Amino acid sequence: MSEYTFYSPFTGSRPIISDEKTRRFAYESLLGKYGRETSLTPCVSLDGIAGFEGLSSYEKYDAAVNEIVRRCPIRFAPDELLCGSATLGDAIGARLPATFKSEYPLSGINHLTSGFDRAVREGLDSYEARIDKRLSDDGLDSNQTAVLTSMKNTISAMRIWHGRYLCEIKANIEKTSGDEQKYWIDLYENLEPVPFKAPSSFRQAIQSLWFCFAFLRLLGNWPGIGRIDLILEPYYKDDLESGKITYDEARTLICHFMIKGCEWIRLDSRGSGDAQHYQNIVLCGDDDEGNEFISDISYTVLSATEEFPIPDYPIAVRMREDSPQELYEAIARVMRHGSGVAAIYNNDLVVDSMVKFGYSPSEARNFANDGCWEVQVPGKTCFTYCPIDIFPLLQDKTLNIGGDEYPDFPDFESLYETFRETMAVQVKEWNAGADNFARWDMPMSAISLFTDGCIETGLGYYNRGAVYTAYSLHYGGVPDLCDCLYAIKKLVYDEKLVTLPKLCRILHNDWQPEDDSDEAEVEFVSALRARARSLEYYGNDNPECDAIIARIVKDFTDEMAKTKERSGVLRPAGLSTFGRQIEWAKNRLAGADGHGKHYIRANNIAPTPGTDVKGASAVIKSACNIDFLALPCGAALDLKLDPNSVKGDEGINALVGLMKAFIRLGGFFLQIDVADAAALIDAKLHPEKYPNLAVRISGWSARFVTLDDHWQDMIIGRTSQNRM
């Protein structure tokens, strides 16, 4: 047994495939060695730059980047095969790690996948040539000139950082000999031409990809990687066919890429977890002609994730129902170890939804995500989303539960129509504000450099330079809303157990009777709540309830479809909570489904915790009543499965069956997390025993011991859901 053996608390030991050096590198990374080293140098100071306060915004950005690349620590981990590390601790917090008078004048960004594919393929020398050509054009205004000059300066800064690594490697070549010297020579030969020249080998390609990614991270950004297998496949295929590389050598390089992505791990609590850096990887999907693309690299990324407990790269696999059984099983093997790091897109449905929204088929076929799971065209999109809790539209706006007077709608349709009109007003108001998205003087030259459209227009990422500017309204709490509407329909209108005003009064009192209530009234409220809790809600394959959630989503997407684009801003609809149900709970009133106020409710489009009792298959059937074709930005279904249900070959088959059913029934994005409440409770009590126990949060996974008490309790509370 290797000294560096990794375990899952749910399945025991993981497979041992890699060599001892690679496993040691993974072991040190996953225990936070390099993250803690990074924390020792949080940032650089800009106080010594004369006249900094009087510089323009782009001059300040360039000065800060120049200081960062000259003064950040240069790090080589023992035996690592790829160079470049984001070594300033404040970058971990998604801000540009440079201070002026103890303040942070510039920020980093997230929720994007940068255009690493083009950067690797063409090399950054070609970008510099494109910028020079654009700067020579007549008619540029001062802002365009500043943006283009800043992008060129960013390439120059990257050359400085690159040169510092080469100098360190040269010094090590000169003072070593034999195998150790050959190691440093190989590092030098593979780093020297890239990322400025086009790669001539697989190792140079993966080095180029890593160096570009690490540079953006060094500047406090959290970009997604995108379609790593599609980016690297041509170089891998050529080297394999020519005998320049073996499969095992390529696998080792991919493992090192994955391990280096853990360099920000510190294993200290930061609320929502220490793996939340949105460096999502997308595998498989379509080629340019729409044929299914699967590579050895696709399987290798999954194999590396099965071997090493790395949650830092959430993996989204673009699947079809008839995708190879081998691929389904490879995903299932990763899933059953827990962590929720592997998830699947329904490839054909997502492509169709994007085309229906207005993207060209070629753009839609290349979709990736923003680092969580919201869909975008990678390397071409300036994206953000606006999360809004839909639950108060019923509780506060329609029923006035927090007030003194309550409505008395004559029938359910009247109630629902009032809610729908309230929702329509909110969507219209949001659309009015969306017109001004990304009209900001906010320098993001490194991100702009890796975003198609910015060089061509001479405009920055946050000033409409990207090919696409997308702002997505995401409603959260839709399952909770559905359950409460269904409960009102049953209790008030179908079974006539209570009038609507009286029910609203009971909810106002948080399911408690009035202080002066007699015994009969106390019993009535108790019996009414018991009846509310006994209903079969969303997630139990109840057609009557599921029709309500389908209706809510249709009315939302119909309203959003009225304004797909305006003022240069795309407005794709989505559904999500991303864990915000924790903060939303503080302001939520009691619901007609029997839950009291402040109850932490549904995550994304999963059922409200504690309401699904018929297993994972029923949850999938309920969710797939939603028309996901009308949700081009997406929606995630979270399933939590007991480890005992996925053991052995039968467990693999069960996971494969769930994935295939989800795709066949028309789901959008499926996140399966295998977890056991007993292990999670023990991890909360004894965190030292579980440093790398990871769980799926929403669009990301996180090490459980780095979550705060609120997040840990939410994960434990929902773990009893969705059993097979």
Q: What is the pLDDT of residues 179-198, one digit of tens each?
A: 999 999 999 999 999 999 99
Angle, to 10 degrees, between the axis of helix 500-508 and the axis of helix 519-534?
Answer: 100
The string of pLDDT tens digits covering residues 37-60 is: 999 999 999 999 999 999 999 999
Say yes or no to pLDDT of 722 above 60.
Answer: no
Same-domain check for residues 511 and 616: yes
**pLDDT computed for residue 724 by the predictor:** 46
CA dihedral 574, 580, 585, 586 (to 10 degrees): -130
Same domain, 116 and 137: yes
- Which pLDDT score is estimated for 690? 86
Looking at the domain assignment, is residue 51 inside a domain? no
Q: What's the pLDDT score for residue 598?
A: 92
702 pLDDT band (50/70/90 cuts)?
Answer: confident
Phi-psi region of 420 (alpha: psi -120 to 50; beta: other; left: phi over 0): alpha
Is 269 a domain residue? yes
Q: Flag whether 45 is in a domain.
A: no
Show Cβ contacts of residue 336 under 8 Å, excluding neighbours closer than 6 positions. 10, 11, 643, 646, 647, 651, 652, 655, 674
Residue 46 domain-assigned (yes or no): no
Condensed to tens digits (0 to 9), the pLDDT of residues 373-385 reads 999 999 999 999 9
pLDDT for res 72 = 98
Q: State how far the Cα of 458 lies from the Cα of 147, in Å rounded to an integer.
A: 6
Residues 80 and 201 in one domain: yes
In angstroms, the CA 384 to CA 616 distance is 31
- Mean pLDDT over each residue of the chain, to the nearest integer: 94
Q: Do residue 624 and residue 698 come from a single domain?
A: no
Residue 723: pLDDT over 50: no
**What pLDDT is recorded for position 721?**
54
Evaluate if residue 334 carries a pLDDT over 90. yes
pLDDT at position 269: 67
Domain end, chosen from 260, 285, 320, is at 260
Q: What is the rounded average pLDDT of the residues 520-539?
A: 97
Sign of the dihedral through C-alpha 593, 594, 597, 601: negative
- In this predicted structure, the answer to whether residue 656 has a pLDDT above a threshold of 90 is yes
241/265 same-domain check:
no
Using the structure block, give the residue that is written with the tokens 């997604």: 224
CA distance 410 to 408: 6
- Residue 275, pLDDT score: 66
| DSSP three-state, residue 692 | coil
Tell me phi and psi for residue 151, to 5 degrees. -65, -40
Do 284 and 224 share a structural domain?
A: no
Whether 119 and 265 map to the same domain: the answer is no
- pLDDT value at residue 706: 86
- The predicted-structure confidence for 676-685, as pLDDT tens digits, reads as follows 888 889 888 9
Name the pTM for this structure: 0.96
Q: In terms of pLDDT, which residue wins out, 271 or 664?
A: 664
Final residue belonging to a domain, choices 221, 241, 260: 260
Q: Is residue 97 part of a domain?
A: no
What domain count does the chain have? 3
Domain membership flag for residue 137: yes
Instruction: Give residue 693's pLDDT band: very low, low, confident or very high (50, 70, 90).
Output: confident
Same domain, 321 and 343: yes
In this predicted model, what pLDDT tens digit does every residue of 57-110 receive, in sequence order?
Answer: 999 999 999 999 999 999 999 999 999 999 999 999 999 999 999 999 999 999
Cα torsion through 703, 372, 591, 673, rounded to 10 = -50
Range of the domain at 540: 375-632
Model confidence pLDDT, tens digit, residues 263-307: 999 887 667 677 678 899 999 999 999 999 999 999 999 999 999
221 has a pLDDT exceeding 70: yes
Percent of all residues in the chain with a pLDDT value above 70, rounded to a whole number: 98
Answer whether residue 191 is part of any domain.
Answer: yes
**Same-domain status, 245 and 277:** no
Q: Per-residue pLDDT for 448 more than 80?
A: yes
Check whether residue 427 and residue 487 sit in a common domain.
yes
| pLDDT given for residue 372 in this prediction | 87
Identify the pLDDT of residue 239. Answer: 98
Q: Please indicate, yes or no, whether residues 391 and 425 belong to a single structural domain of this protein.
A: yes
Q: Identify whether the C-beta of residue 539 lies closer than 8 Å to the C-beta of residue 618.
A: yes
Single residue among 611, 632, 653 that ends a domain in this structure: 632
Residue 516 lies in a domain: yes
Same domain, 311 and 395: no
